């Protein structure tokens, strides 16, 4: 397999892993966001992932992957996962996939990468937090309209991620050496049994450790903290993962950032040859 093939497979394995309470997986879906939307999202993302592997600018590769992903009727399926995969793919394409080398990719991003990142928001509705006070010109929800402001200020894509890191778990990976992604990979690699089962277990562990920032954005911080407690209780055997899944799906609570971390972890473990399908 090639690097973009492994990245695409990671996206597919993530959504195949079940149960991942609150998320779409092969046994759970929402009426308007179904399993097949994620399959189509992974199909469409591949060309952008191949661009990242081939050496195209990180921002352009990301924009292309999101544009491809968005060619299905379920809207945003894997925006955050792709945002994690693109720098990891780039690091893997030029040498060993390590936190140091992934961090170096992030530090090399430019203002052009930031502009492409903003344009990616034109393809799909992504739930994000409002920008900090005084940063409304750089609100990602403006999409391509914010590009002049991005260029005028000369911010890099890493700078943009640093602004969001306080409230967005994916941005925090970008500015924090992909710590939880690599941790997820280690756990998946050291697990036993079929890979989707390992990934589902790791999803629950991550969910029990930190509030999912997507839940904070879509609902609020208390809801996200409650999900942490529920995940802990599930790991302690107070309820089954399937019951938690049914409960969260019913409430529409969708810990999507934690799923993004699992996708990144799956890719790292596949790329380093620590797991094989």
Does 35 bind a copy of itself (CB under 8 A)? Our answer is yes
Does 73 bind a copy of itself (CB under 8 A)? Our answer is yes
Q: Number of residues in contact with a copy of itself, rule: CB under 8 A?
A: 29
Task: Kindly state the tokens that stand for 151.
Answer: 């260029």
Determine which residue in the list 3, 12, 97, 114 makes contact with a copy of itself, applying CB under 8 A.
Answer: 12
Residues 224-253 that bind a copy of itself (CB under 8 A): none
Cis-peptide, bond into residue 34, ω within 30° of zero: no
Return the number of the residue (196 or 265) whose C-beta is nearest a copy of itself. Answer: 196
Does 276 bind a copy of itself (CB under 8 A)? Our answer is yes
Closest listed residue to residue 48, CA positions, set 78, 25, 73: 78
Closest separation in Å from C-beta 275 to a copy of itself: 10
Determine which residue in the list 9, 185, 188, 227 makes contact with a copy of itself, applying CB under 8 A.
Answer: 9
| Phi, psi for 216 (deg, rounded to 5) | -60, -45
Return the number of the residue (36 or 125) whose C-beta is nearest a copy of itself. Answer: 36
Closest separation in Å from C-beta 142 to a copy of itself: 28
**Is residue 59 within 8 Å of residue 113, measured between CB atoms?**
yes
Binding letters toward a copy of itself, positions 182-221, x by CB under 8 A:
------------xxx-------------------------
Return the number of the residue (13 or 160) whose C-beta is nearest a copy of itself. Answer: 13
Determine which residue in the list 16, 52, 160, 170 makes contact with a copy of itself, applying CB under 8 A.
Answer: 16
DSSP string for residues in the chain: --HHHHHHHHHHHHHHS---TTS-BTTB-BTTB-HHHHHHHHHHHHHHHHHHHHT--HHHHHHHHHHHHTSSTT--SSHHHHHHHHHHHHHHHHS---HHHHHHHHHT--HHHHHHHHHHTTSS----PPPPTT-GGG-GGGGGGGHHHHHHHT--HHHHHHHHTTT-HHHHHHHTTTHHHHHHHHHHHH--S-HHHHHHHHHHHHHTTS--HHHHHHS-HHHHHHHHHHHHHHHTTSS-HHHHHHHHHHHT---HHHHHHHHHHHHHHHHTTS---
Closest listed residue to residue 202, CA positions, set 108, 150, 155, 269: 269
Return the number of the residue (171 or 270) whose C-beta is nearest a copy of itself. Answer: 270
Determine which residue in the list 23, 24, 37, 146 makes contact with a copy of itself, applying CB under 8 A.
Answer: 37
Residues 40-59 that bind a copy of itself (CB under 8 A): 40, 42-44, 46
Which window, 66-74, 115-123, 160-168, 239-247, contacts a copy of itself (CB under 8 A)? 66-74
Does 1 bind a copy of itself (CB under 8 A)? Our answer is yes
Closest separation in Å from C-beta 86 to a copy of itself: 18
Contacts with a copy of itself by CB under 8 A lie at 1, 5, 8-9, 12-13, 16, 26-27, 34-37, 39-40, 42-44, 46, 68, 71-74, 194-196, 276-277
């Amino acid at each position: 397999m090639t690097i973009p093939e492994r990245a695409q497979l990671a996206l597919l394995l993530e959504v195949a892993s079940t149960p991942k309470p609150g998320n779409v997986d092969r046994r759970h879906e929402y009426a308007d966001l179904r399993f097949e939307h994620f399959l189509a999202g992974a199909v469409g993302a591949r060309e952008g992932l191949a661009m990242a592997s081939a050496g195209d600018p990180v921002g352009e590769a990301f924009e292309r992957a999101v544009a491809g992903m968005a060619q299905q009727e379920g809207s945003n399926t894997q925006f955050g996962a792709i945002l994690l995969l693109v720098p990891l793919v780039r690091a893997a394409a030029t040498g060993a996939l390590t936190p140091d080398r992934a961090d170096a990719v992030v530090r090399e991003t430019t203002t052009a990468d930031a502009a492409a990142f903003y344009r990616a928001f034109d393809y799909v509705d992504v739930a994000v937090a409002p920008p900090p006070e005084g940063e409304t010109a750089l609100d990602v929800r403006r999409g391509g309209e914010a590009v002049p402001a991005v260029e005028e200020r000369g911010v890099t894509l890493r700078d943009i991620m640093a602004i969001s890191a306080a409230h967005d778990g994916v941005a925090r990976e970008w500015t924090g050496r992909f710590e939880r992604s690599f941790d997820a990979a280690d756990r998946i690699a050291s697990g036993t049994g079929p890979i989707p089962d390992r990934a589902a277990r790791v999803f629950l562990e991550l969910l029990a450790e930190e509030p999912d920032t997507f839940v904070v954005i879509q609902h609020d911080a208390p809801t996200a903290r409650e999900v942490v407690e529920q995940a802990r209780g599930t790991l302690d055997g107070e309820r089954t993962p399937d019951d938690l899944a049914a409960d969260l799906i019913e409430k529409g609570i969708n810990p999507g950032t934690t799923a993004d971390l699992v996708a990144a972890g799956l890719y790292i473990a596949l790329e380093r040859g620590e797991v094989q399908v």
